[in-house]
């Protein structure tokens, strides 16, 4: 379910890239554009037009293709509109006609009197269905906001977390300086897509590519480093927790402890990097990104290291090395 109410008017006013444009326009029922679209499914009301309403998905957007359009005209030609009158009694948010199909004027009047908006698109049925499904997958995806910085490093989406003042923004600024890209600073909105991946973007797209650097103030990354230094959204593939170095804490030195964090029901790998003067965090994060890419290709450095150690032990060379050590020092 979406975090806020999503209406038919919101659907009409969506700002989408050209390859995702829905090309919708309202051809009837403008007073009903405030109708709420509450579910992400799309329904083709073929059975409903014949008068069968068991399990009718009335809360969905109703999509009319060539078959539905032809049958609709047949019903009006035969003056048999009882099923249509019954359909609108279920409370439909909106109807959409594809391929610029023109419904009968009587049908538009019936929809308007029933409080249903009528929309039209120039797209073919299959193409429009795919685009609308992608839009709904985004609109109705579970969402939440997090405090952190999201960057893209070597193609890997990395979310930097940690308490305020630990150096997340400064680290991200150095990564941008080294040719990587900023997605969002400070407040990151995440959403689950298809239940198996997490996309992140700025909670406020107008200020998401601005960065606060203590002692310097607010800077605009896109203006300073060019549009190639930013991107609008990115899948989060790794979470890095930055924390102040704690001498009493034992940190992972091999990489065998594979941890993950639950983000909206999706497990995302996470590592912890201690921060202290002299550590070059940007280089460490670059190495973490490249290591994550290797893991995606099936290679695990820590596992390979352990296997090599075991082979070394099995060959007996470790005993020779141990007994051959010079104890004079």
Active site residues: 147, 168, 186, 253
Contact criterion met (CB below 8 Å) for 152 and 181: yes
Q: Pseudo-torsion of CA 135, 137, 142, 145, nearest 10°?
A: -40
Report the distance separating Cα 162 and Cα 170, nearest Å: 13
* Rounded-to-5 percentages of helix, strand, coil across the chain: 35, 30, 35
Dihedral angle, C-alpha 100, 105, 108, 112, nearest 10 °: 140
CB 309 within 8 Å of CB 176:
no
Q: Which stretches of the chain are assigned E, i.e. beta strand? A: 24-28, 42-43, 61-64, 94-97, 117-121, 143-153, 156-161, 181-193, 197-202, 210-213, 217-220, 233-235, 238-244, 259-263, 266-275
The Cα 54–Cα 58 span in angstroms is 11
Residue whose pair of structure tokens reads 């405090």 in the numeric block: 147
Q: In what order do the strands lie in the sheet with 24-28?
A: 24-28, 117-121, 94-97, 61-64, 42-43
| φ, ψ of residue 250 in degrees (nearest 5) | -95, 115
CB 235 within 8 A of CB 263: no
Q: What span, in angstroms and rounded, lies between the C-alpha atoms of 326 and 329?
A: 7
Please give the span between the terminal C-alpha atoms of the chain, in angstroms, as a whole number.
69
Q: If you ran DSSP here, which 8-state letter would residue 253 be given?
A: S
- From residue 3, give the alpha-carbon distance in Å to each of 13, 78, 83, 144: 18, 45, 35, 9
CB 299 within 8 A of CB 305: no
User: Collapsing DSSP states into helix, strand and coil, what is residue 303?
Assistant: helix
């Amino acid at each position: 379910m979406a975090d806020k109410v999503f209406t038919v008017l919101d659907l009409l006013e969506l700002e989408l890239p050209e390859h995702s444009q829905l090309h919708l326009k309202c051809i009837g029922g403008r007073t009903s554009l405030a109708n709420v679209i509450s579910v992400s499914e799309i329904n083709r009301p073929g059975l409903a037009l014949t008068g069968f309403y068991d399990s009718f998905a009335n809360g969905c957007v109703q999509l009319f293709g060539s078959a539905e359009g032809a049958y609709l005209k047949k019903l009006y030609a035969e003056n048999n509109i009882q099923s249509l009158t019954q359909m609108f009694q279920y409370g439909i948010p909106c109807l959409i006609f594809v391929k610029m199909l023109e419904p009968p004027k009587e049908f538009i009047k019936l929809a308007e009197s029933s409080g249903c908006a009528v929309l039209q698109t120039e797209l073919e049925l299959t193409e429009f269905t795919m685009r609308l499904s992608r839009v709904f997958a985004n609109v109705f995806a579970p969402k939440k906001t997090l405090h952190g910085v999201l960057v893209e490093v070597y193609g890997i989406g990395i979310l930097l977390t940690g308490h305020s003042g630990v150096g997340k923004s400064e680290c991200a600024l150095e990564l941008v300086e080294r040719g990587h890209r900023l997605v969002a600073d400070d407040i990151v909105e995440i959403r689950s897509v298809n239940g198996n991946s997490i996309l992140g973007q700025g909670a406020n797209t107008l200020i998401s590519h601005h960065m606060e650097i203590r002692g310097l103030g607010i800077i605009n990354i896109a203006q300073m480093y060019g549009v190639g230094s930013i991107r609008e959204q990115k899948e989060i593939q790794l979470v890095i927790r930055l924390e102040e170095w704690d001498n009493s804490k034992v940190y992972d030195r091999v990489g065998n402890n594979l941890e993950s964090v639950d983000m909206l029901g999706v497990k995302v790998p996470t590592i912890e990097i201690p921060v202290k003067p002299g550590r070059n965090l940007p280089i460490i994060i670059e190495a973490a990104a490249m290591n994550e890419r290797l893991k995606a290709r099936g290679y695990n450095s820590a596992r390979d290291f352990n296997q090599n150690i075991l082979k070394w032990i099995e060959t007996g060379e470790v005993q020779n090395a141990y007994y051959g050590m010079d104890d004079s020092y």
